[in-house]
């Protein structure tokens, strides 16, 4: 318990979320220190998304078995975080592609930072151990990522439209030049 108290001196917000979570009472009843159960007390390991959920590296499955509410909650929380992370990655990739091709997407990239912030908040809200709290910040992040992705798609569509327009313009100009050339040749042949 003293280790958990030490953690809470720097990670105050995390400690407050944990104190309001259903795990706080359950851990106290079993005499388990809160932070240490998931984060260990001797290793300082950077947490990862793999810790949450029901996968092979998840710490949730050390206490929760398939079918119980905690297991389903952990699975839902992991899915929310994974879904948001994937949406941000995809939006970032399409915006980077559009930017490399010369399209202006800086406002969409700036907006995507709000989705990154939502992902960070969702990861923080894991400490509530409630999917509803994670989803509360993940869903707006998803909407932002979706909008950024659509901006990237629109930018690439605009690029294709411009390329087609440029191609048609070049063909029109070449036809006009060829027509002028032939007309000049025709005029010159009549003068001879």
For position 5, what pLDDT does the model report? 62
Q: What is the pLDDT of residue 31?
A: 75
Q: Of 144, 133, 102, 138, whose CA–CA distance to 119 is shortest?
A: 138
Q: How many residues are there in the chain?
A: 192
pTM of the entire structure?
0.76
- Longest C-alpha distance within the chain, in Å? 110
CB count within 10 Å of CB 133 equals: 20
Q: Per-residue confidence of the chain (192 residues) as pLDDT tens digits?
A: 455 566 766 777 677 777 778 777 777 777 777 777 777 766 767 788 988 888 888 888 888 888 888 899 999 999 999 999 999 999 999 999 999 999 999 999 999 999 999 999 999 999 888 899 999 999 999 999 999 999 999 999 999 999 899 999 999 999 999 999 999 988 888 876
Tokens of 51: 């810790």
């Amino acid at each position: 318990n003293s280790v958990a108290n030490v953690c809470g001196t720097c990670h105050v917000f995390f400690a407050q979320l944990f104190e309001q979570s259903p795990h706080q009472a359950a851990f106290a009843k079993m005499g388990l220190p809160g932070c240490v159960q998931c984060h260990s007390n001797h290793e300082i390991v950077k947490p990862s998304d793999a810790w949450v959920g029901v996968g092979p590296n998840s710490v949730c499955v050390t206490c929760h078995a398939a079918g119980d509410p905690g297991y389903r909650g952990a699975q839902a929380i992991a899915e929310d975080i994974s879904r948001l992370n994937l949406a941000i990655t995809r939006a970032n990739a399409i915006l980077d592609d559009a930017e490399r091709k010369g399209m202006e997407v800086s406002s969409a990239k700036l907006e995507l930072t709000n989705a990154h912030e939502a992902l960070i908040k969702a990861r923080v809200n894991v400490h509530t151990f409630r999917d509803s709290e994670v989803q509360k910040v993940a869903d707006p992040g998803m909407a932002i990522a979706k909008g950024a992705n659509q901006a990237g798609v629109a930018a690439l569509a605009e690029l294709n439209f411009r390329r087609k327009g440029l191609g048609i313009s070049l063909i029109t100009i070449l036809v006009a030049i060829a027509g002028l050339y032939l007309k000049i040749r025709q005029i010159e042949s009549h003068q001879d």
